[in-house]
Amino acid sequence: MKIAVFSARPYDRRSLDACNQQGYAADGFEFIYFDATLDAHTAALAQDCDAVCVFVNDRLDAPVLQALHALGVRAVVLRCAGFNNVDLAAAEQLGFFVARVPAYSPEAVAEHTLALIMTLNRQTHRAYNRVREGNFMLDGLLGRTLHGKTVGIVGTGKIGLATARILHGMGCTVLGHDPYPSPEFDALGSTVPLDELLARSDIVSLHCPLTTQTQHMIDEASLARMKPGAMLVNTSRGGLVDTDAVIRALKSHHLGHLAIDVYEQESALFFQDRSGEIIDDDVFQRLMTFPNVLVTGHQGFFTAEALQEIAETTLGNLVHFAAGSECPNRVTKA
Ligand code: NAI
């Protein structure tokens, strides 16, 4: 079976090839790697392939799915948990097998969330540069003791829960908001309405999926409900946050800190080296001017353990597709 792997970086090739060599399928799979992101222009690269293997910024809207179907592609295997980039109605209508990696080291993303919170709170990113330049002044590096502070976790699923466990261990009061409250979370903190979470939290961390209901859940109105000087952290999906509203809240000093690993327009920037180019996204560039904003380029998942889990689950999903057997990771519209 031939699989066109889009948005393939060297680490994707290494982990998929290593897993393939371990004999997941009797004859192994034939992976054809493309650096390109999947979209209407690049879909033709999947000529002669049975499946496409894609990541967060590959675009699988109806026209792309139709183009893939016309080429004979019948399966979409996602190397990620989120599937907001797939038009599931169109995929289902065309009879595509769509499967994802529902969980890969939720702790990896939770630990990165903590790295962002700790860095921004104690300004270690600025301290690093200062000390290297021989500047040992502390002015401007003042942080807050996190022990005893209140952290609001929006989405208490696998990653939210893992984040809550760490923060609880640090002595924080943990609040959660989720339409499906979990008993595991309730053992660590209290589930409260979103407005109460926003009003009480010193740090708000987003861990819910991007859907039509959650898009721009952090907007002008919800930012106004947050405590003055609070920190907003988003390691989930960029579309959860209205970035223009966030910039206004930063400019008015109402929002104290912003840490993001995801950005609504990230597909034009992330996972690429744009260091020698003019970046024409003025909203992103405005964010870069704030000393109290920290951005990483969607690296929450990026640990050796998570890459191995992604490769193993992806090959497992392909085995199910090849055998026509029931796949636990299949994504359907219902
Ligand atoms: P999960 O499915 O275990 O948990 C998501 C939780 O959000 C569920 O409990 C769900 O009930 C809840 N939820 C749904 N709608 C909500 C709403 N309106 N308000 C509050 N909660 C709501 O998913 P998991 O594994 O914890 O992943 C969460 C998100 O993290 C994914 O959707 C993905 O977008 C993102 N992610 C980011 C990565 C990164 O590298 N930065 C890597 C992996 C996932």
Q: How far is the CA of 159 from the centre of ligand 1 (A)?
A: 7
Does the pLDDT of residue 136 top 80, yes or no? yes
| pLDDT attached to residue 59 | 95
pLDDT digits (tens, 9 = 90+) for 227-251: 999 999 999 999 999 999 999 999 9
Q: How far is the CA of 236 from the centre of ligand 1 (A)?
A: 7
Instruction: From 178, 213, 215, 260, give the residue whose CB has the most ligand 1 atoms within 8 Å, as the site to mutate.
Output: 178
Domains and CATH numbers, the chain: 2-104+303-323 (3.40.50.720), 106-295 (3.40.50.720)
% of the chain exceeding 70 in pLDDT: 100
| pLDDT attached to residue 11 | 96
Considering the entire predicted model, what is its pTM?
0.92
In terms of pLDDT, which residue wins out, 28 or 89?
89
**Distance between CA 169 and CA 280 in Å, rounded?**
42
Q: Band the pLDDT of 69: cuts 50, 70, 90.
A: very high
| pLDDT attached to residue 150 | 98
222: left (phi over 0), alpha (psi -120 to 50) or beta: alpha
DSSP state, residue 222: H
Does the pLDDT of residue 138 top 90, yes or no? yes
Does the pLDDT of residue 26 top 90, yes or no? no
3-class SS at 137? coil
Residue-by-residue DSSP string for 61-109: -HHHHHHHHHHT--EEEESSS--TTB-HHHHHHTT-EEE----S-HHHH
Task: Supply the residues annotated as catalytic.
Answer: 237, 266
Does the pLDDT of residue 28 top 90, yes or no? no
| pLDDT attached to residue 149 | 98
| 268: its two tokens | 């034009």
**Any residues with Cβ below 6 Å from ligand 1, and which?**
81-82, 103, 106, 109, 154-160, 177-180, 207-209, 213-214, 235-237, 261-262, 298, 300-301
| pLDDT attached to residue 27 | 72
Q: How far is the CA of 98 from the centre of ligand 1 (A)?
A: 19
Tokens 């289902």 belong to residue: 92
Q: How far is the CA of 188 from the centre of ligand 1 (A)?
A: 18
| pLDDT attached to residue 334 | 72
pLDDT digits (tens, 9 = 90+) for 164-185: 999 999 999 999 999 999 999 9
Q: Band the pLDDT of 315: cuts 50, 70, 90.
A: very high
Q: Band the pLDDT of 15: cuts 50, 70, 90.
A: very high
Ligand 1 nearest atom to the CA of residue 177, by list position:
20
Ligand 1 nearest atom to the CA of residue 161, by list position:
26
- When the pLDDT of each residue in the chain is averaged and rounded to a whole number, the result is 96
Are 110 and 157 in contact, with CB atoms under 8 Å apart? no
Does the pLDDT of residue 24 top 80, yes or no? no
